[in-house]
């Protein structure tokens, strides 16, 4: 390579390396060594430089059947579909201790029309990349020549014949890549046809890019929809939680308001009651805790009757109580039996006011003890 090429971006061809193995894996892929460090046809490839260049050997990179000639590269720089033999099945990675020594390894995914030829010729063919990079003149491993400074892009990793394998395998290799109707003959293609094919390829490329853009836009919309839905669901949950807490607070306020109304109602009913003030205070405390309700509001008629019953029971009790704390009476001859308690008297009054036996008993218990 001439000295005046130093620092320029040039097309680089690597030395052909044998296939890693002939047998394809279950998924149809073949382990391959793309390039190893050392001297190649374009110059010296150092291990450090190859480690940095790994990112250029991407999954999906084209693998053609043989390199282009200069004339083919001039007429069809985008390459010929008929020579497309496969792609890289995964991104390249640098291995220090790979099956064939250090280098950039990957897996090849051959297309079906070339798969059998690759298996049959595996011992006689190898791989060589077509890349772009910069060089400088230098010395490596005791040899002077172009030193590859950097690989800026990799165009393809191609199947090629290995040096020293003989003319017969070279001819078979060429036959495997021939797609004309007459085996062994090259199809003559005009410049107009080449340009027409190039236009078709460009149209296909634009359609593929357009479809990819549509899919990407759709995926973005779906992502935004999922995020918006999740945000709305979160807001709804927070709103429901806040509403539940507000309802609890409202229920407590309503209960407190109802108790205040009950206390005020009881106080009004006890105002003119003919019992001592201390008795009024006790009745107010007890009766205000057990308001008679109907549809969530004070049942004033029932409540008024209950209060009147409690007052009458207190008055009767106070009128008949003796110093020993029992009720005066004449035994079974009439009136209130001797030994009748205030609770019994009040329970009877609540029954007479129209309450059920169970409710009258409970209201009498609350009125006497103050326990709900």
pLDDT tens per residue across span 237-290: 988 999 998 888 888 888 888 888 888 999 998 888 888 888 888 888 888 888
This prediction's pTM: 0.45
At 194 the pLDDT is 55
Each residue's pLDDT tens digit, 293-311:
888 888 888 888 989 888 8
Using the CB atoms, write b or e for 171-183: b if 16+ within 10 Å.
eebeebbbeeeee
Q: In this model, does residue 209 exceed pLDDT 70?
A: yes
Q: In this model, does residue 372 exceed pLDDT 80?
A: no
Helical H runs in 180-299?
A: 191-270, 277-287
Rounded to whole angstroms, the Cα distance separating 162 from 123 reads: 9
Each residue's pLDDT tens digit, 92-119:
999 999 888 999 999 999 998 898 888 8
At 24 the pLDDT is 66
DSSP 16: P
Rounded to whole angstroms, the Cα distance separating 276 from 206 reads: 102
Contact present, 128 and 158 (Cβ < 8 Å): yes
Rounded to whole angstroms, the Cα distance separating 324 from 321 reads: 8
Contact present, 63 and 108 (Cβ < 8 Å): yes
Contact present, 21 and 31 (Cβ < 8 Å): yes
Q: Percent of the chain at pLDDT above 70?
A: 79
Mean pLDDT of 212-233: 89
Contact present, 155 and 131 (Cβ < 8 Å): yes
Q: In this model, does residue 173 exceed pLDDT 80?
A: no
Q: In this model, does residue 126 exceed pLDDT 80?
A: yes
Left, alpha or beta for 183 (phi > 0: left; psi -120 to 50: alpha)?
beta
3-state secondary structure of 93: strand
Residue 226 token pair: 């999922």
At 94 the pLDDT is 96
At 1 the pLDDT is 41
């Amino acid at each position: 390579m001439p000295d005046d090429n130093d620092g320029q971006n040039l097309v680089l061809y690597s030395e052909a390396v044998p296939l890693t193995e002939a047998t394809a894996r279950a998924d149809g892929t073949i382990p391959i060594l793309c390039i190893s460090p050392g001297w190649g046809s374009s110059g010296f490839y150092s291990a450090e430089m190859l480690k940095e260049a790994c990112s250029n050997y991407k999954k999906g990179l084209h693998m053609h059947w043989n390199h282009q000639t200069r004339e083919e590269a001039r007429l069809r720089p985008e390459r010929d579909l008929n020579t497309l033999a496969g792609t890289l099945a995964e991104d390249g990675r640098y291995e220090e201790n790979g099956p064939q020594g250090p280098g950039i390894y990957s897996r090849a995914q051959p297309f079906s029309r070339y798969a059998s030829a690759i298996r049959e010729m595996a011992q006689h063919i190898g791989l060589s990349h077509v890349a772009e990079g910069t060089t400088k003149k230098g010395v490596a491993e005791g040899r002077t020549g172009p030193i590859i400074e950097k690989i800026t892009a990799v165009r393809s990793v191609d199947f090629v014949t290995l040096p020293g394998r003989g003319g017969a395998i070279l001819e078979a290799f060429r036959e495997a890549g021939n797609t004309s109707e007459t085996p062994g003959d090259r199809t003559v293609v005009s410049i107009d046809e080449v340009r027409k094919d190039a236009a078709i390829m460009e149209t296909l490329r634009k359609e593929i890019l357009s479809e990819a853009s549509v899919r990407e836009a759709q995926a973005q919309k779906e992502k935004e929809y999922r995020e918006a839905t999740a945000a709305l669901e979160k807001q709804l949950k927070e709103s429901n939680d806040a509403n539940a807490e507000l309802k609890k607070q409202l229920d407590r306020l309503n209960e407190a308001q109802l108790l205040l109304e009950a206390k005020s109602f009881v106080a009004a009913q006890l105002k003119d009651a003919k019992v001592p003030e201390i008795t009024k205070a006790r009745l107010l405390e007890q009766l205000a805790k057990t308001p008679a309700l109907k549809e969530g509001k004070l049942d004033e008629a029932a409540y008024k009757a209950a209060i009147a019953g409690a007052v009458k029971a207190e008055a009767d009790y106070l009128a008949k109580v003796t110093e020993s704390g029992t009720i005066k009476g004449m035994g079974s001859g009439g009136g209130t039996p001797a030994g009748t308690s205030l609770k019994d008297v009040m329970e009877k009054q609540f029954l007479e006011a129209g309450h059920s036996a169970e409710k009258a008993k409970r209201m009498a218990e609350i009125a006497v003890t103050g326990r709900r």
